[in-house]
Amino acid sequence: MTNKEAKDSLNKIIDKARVHLYKPIQIAEILHRDRINKDVDLNNVESYRTKSRAWRDIVCLQFLGRTSTSSARYQDDVFNENAVPPEAIRTLAQINKANNGIVEEYIYSKFKQRFSQLSTGLDYCISHDRKNFMLVEFLEMFWLEPGLRRSIDKIYEIVVYSIFSSIIEIIDLKIDAYIDENKLVVLNEFYGFAKKILGFSENQTRLTISGKINRVGVTNAADRGLDMWSNFGLTIQVKHLSLTEELAESIVSAVSSDRIILICKSSEESVLISVLNQIGWKSKIQSIVTESELISWYETALRGKYSNLIADRLLQKIKNEIQVEFPTTDNTEFNTFLELRKYRTNVSDF
C-alpha cells in the first residue's frame, strides 16, 4: 500500500469519528507500541487486535473518563478494508518510525483540535443566558463545524432531554401506582415481591412518585436504539437525519413500548409518517415532534411567561449534559502527555 493510500485510510476514520476519536487513538497506540515497546508483530493482526483496545482505553480513561461501549465486533471494524486494514497500519508504521512518531503526533493533534472545537459549544452556553440563548444558533455551531457534525445527534439528544425534563420538573408531574382492590389477595401471595420490587406493603398499596425522563447514556455511532425513557411509559428516539425504511423498522421494533415519541427535522416529518405507515408501525408512535416545535418550546421556556421558573434550570441542564457527554480534556494534563512522548503540538500533516 502506498503512503498516500495509508494516509487516506487514516483520515477516513478520523473524519468519520465522533469527538472521542476512539478508533484513531487505537491506531495511534498500535503505532506507539510498535515504535517504542517493539512488542507488536504488524504481520500478525492477532498480536494487536484485542490488546490494542486496552492500550487505547488507558489514554481514553485518562483524558475522557470513559471507553468505547460498542460491541467487540464493531470495534474490530477499524481493521476492515474500508477503514485501516493491516497493510495500511504497516505502511503508517514505516512512516511513523522514520519520522519520530509523526503519525501518532498527527492523530493526537486531531484529537486536541476536536475538543478545542467542542469547547465553543460549551462556551456559548456559558456566555449566553435566558435573554440571548437561541437554539437555532446553538445547533448551527455543530452543523457548520465539520469536526463536530458527527456528534450532532448527541447534541440533539441533549437539547431534547433538557427541555423535556425541565418542563416535567416545573409542572411537578406525579404518577400514581396502585393495586386493583380485586387483586389484593393475589398480591398477598407474592408479598416478598410486592415489598421489595414494588415498594408495597399490607398497609400501603398505593404509591405516588415524581415523573422523570432519563437519557439512556453515552452510546456509540453504531447504536440505533432507545435514546430516552420515562417512568410513565414514554420512550423517545431522536432522529435528525433521513430515516430509511430499514432504519425506521429497526428503531421501532427494538423498543417494546407502544408509546414512542420520535424527534425529527421539520422537513422529515411527512417522509417519516409515510415510512411508518408503509411498515405498519404508525400505531406504536404516540407523536412526532419536529425541530421547529423544539425551537418554539425553547423560546417559551427562555423568554415566556414562566421563564423565571424554567429558563435557568434548562440552560444548566444543557451545560451539565455537554460536560458529561463530552468531558473536555484538561489542556495542562494533555500537554504534559504530549511532552512526555516528545510529540510536537503543531503537526498538521505528514
| Domain-embedded: residue 126 | no
- The pTM of this model reads 0.71
Kindly tell me the sign of the dihedral angle through the C-alpha atoms of 22, 27, 30, 31.
negative
| Domain-embedded: residue 131 | no
User: Quick one: pLDDT at residue 219?
Assistant: 43
For residue 246, the enclosing domain spans: 152-169+212-325
Within 10 A of 8 (CB to CB), how many other CB atoms are there?
12
Give 8-67 pLDDT, tens digit per residue.
Answer: 999 999 988 877 889 999 999 999 999 999 889 999 999 999 999 999 999 988 888 778
Task: Give CA 5 to chain center in angstroms.
Answer: 30
CB 135 within 8 A of CB 295: yes
Q: How confident is the model at residue 98 (pLDDT cuts 50, 70, 90)?
A: very high
Percent of the chain with pLDDT over 90: 41
| Domain-embedded: residue 348 | no
Give 75-95 pLDDT, tens digit per residue.
Answer: 889 999 999 999 999 999 999
Mean pLDDT of 205-217: 86
Residues 6+ apart with CB under 8 A from 328: 115, 118, 119, 122
Q: Judge if 224 and 94 occupy the same domain.
A: no
Q: Judge if 218 and 276 occupy the same domain.
A: yes
Q: How confident is the model at residue 169 (pLDDT cuts 50, 70, 90)?
A: very high
pLDDT of 245 higher than 90? no
- Characterize the bridge pairing of strands 260-264 and 285-290: parallel
Q: What is residue 281's DSSP assignment?
A: -
Spatial separation of the C-alpha atoms in residues 210 and 334, rounded to whole Å: 42
CA dist list (Å): 9 to 117, 166, 331: 23, 43, 28
Q: Judge if 220 and 284 occupy the same domain.
A: yes
Q: Judge if 110 and 192 occupy the same domain.
A: no
Give 180-203 pLDDT, tens digit per residue.
Answer: 888 888 878 888 888 888 888 777
Q: Judge if 49 and 180 occupy the same domain.
A: no
| Number of domains the chain is built from | 3
265-301 burial, b for 16+ CB within 10 Å, e for fewer?
Answer: beebbeebeebbeeeebeebbeebbbbeebbebbebb
Spatial separation of the C-alpha atoms in residues 314 and 303, rounded to whole Å: 12
